[in-house]
């Protein structure tokens, strides 16, 4: 996902905003970022989709309130792509962040756009892609540093992962470990190994799932006991319930046996 063709290549991005002054400013600021090499602009979702067919991009910087398809709807379409681009929302509205992250957004920037916040969002995309590229080993080992000592956590021992700011906390049968890897990067790296992001804050190993339970109007996923010996229950976003059920039925063999 979000693949840059070669190491060191600069990002290809698309900016989408129906207001021309805002679009022009966003394109200008994106072109000033040293990590970005190619910038396209679109003033509506239809034009954006047409450009995406002609010009593969690594990331889309997207307004929310637009005529026709709005930004949230467009992001939903992008998530269905075989190789979906990273999505960063750029909006004047501060009340849609939860929905944005439920859609897998990398970042959520508020207008008026500050250059340093844009630079931070770009850096997150670059860091995520850098984390994805080198790790294809089905028995991946994650180095963890604590108090100057480096230990190694096997992915096959991780039952679930939670977001912790720009970090992720890996939970295993013996404890938890904080690593400087965004949850979005682990989501992309580990999906084919039997992990699924069930919520904006949680990634779970399908082999560790013992069941699903309805709580009120929501759903929780039940996991094997963690290092404390307690069973774990995590909320599942409504939009992820169907995929979780499908993935549990068709979980890849390595997800069940890598222990």
pLDDT at 95: 87
Set out the domains of the chain in order of their start, with CATH numbers: 11-132 (3.40.50.2300), 141-257 (2.40.50.1020)
- Strand 232-236 relative to strand 202-205, pairing: unpaired
Mean pLDDT of the 61-66 span: 95
Q: Looking at the whole model, is its pTM more than 0.75?
A: no
pLDDT digits (tens, 9 = 90+) for 78-131: 988 867 899 999 999 888 888 888 888 889 999 999 999 999 999 888 877 655
Cis peptide before 112 (omega within 30 of 0): yes
Closest CA to 150 of 137, 141, 158: 141
Q: How many CB atoms lie within 10 A of CB 175?
A: 11
pLDDT digits (tens, 9 = 90+) for 139-151: 688 888 777 778 8
End-to-end CA distance of the chain: 26
More confident call, 181 vs 21: 21
DSSP state of 83: S
3-state secondary structure 98-167: HHHHHCCCCEEEECCCCHHHHHHHHHHHHHHHHHHCCCCCCCCEEEEEECCEEEEEEHHHEEEEEEECCE
User: And the tokens for 113?
Assistant: 């756009």
């Amino acid at each position: 996902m979000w693949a840059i063709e070669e190491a060191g290549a600069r990002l290809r991005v698309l900016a989408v905003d129906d207001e021309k002054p805002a679009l022009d400013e966003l394109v200008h600021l994106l072109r000033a970022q040293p990590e970005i090499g190619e910038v396209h602009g679109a003033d509506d979702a239809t034009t954006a989709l047409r450009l995406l067919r002609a010009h593969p991009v690594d990331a889309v910087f997207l307004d929310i309130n637009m005529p026709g398809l709005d930004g949230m709807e467009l992001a939903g379409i992008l998530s269905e792509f075989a190789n979906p681009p990273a999505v960063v929302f750029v909006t004047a509205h501060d009340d849609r962040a939860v929905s944005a992250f439920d859609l897998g957004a990398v970042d959520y920037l508020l207008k008026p756009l500050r250059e340093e916040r844009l630079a931070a969002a770009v850096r997150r995309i670059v860091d995520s892609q850098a984390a994805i590229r080198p790790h294809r080993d089905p028995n991946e080992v994650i180095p963890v540093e604590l108090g100057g000592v480096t230990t190694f956590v096997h992915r096959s021992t991780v039952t679930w992962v939670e977001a912790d700011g720009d970090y992720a906390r890996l939970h295993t049968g013996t404890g938890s470990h904080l690593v400087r890897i965004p949850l979005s990067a682990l989501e992309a790296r580990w999906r084919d190994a039997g992990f699924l992001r069930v919520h904006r804050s949680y990634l779970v190993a399908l082999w560790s799932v013992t069941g699903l339970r309805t709580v009120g109007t929501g759903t929780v996923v039940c996991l094997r006991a963690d290092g404390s010996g307690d069973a774990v229950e995590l909320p599942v976003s409504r939009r992820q319930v169907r995929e979780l059920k499908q993935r549990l039925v068709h979980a890849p063999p390595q997800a069940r046996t890598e222990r």
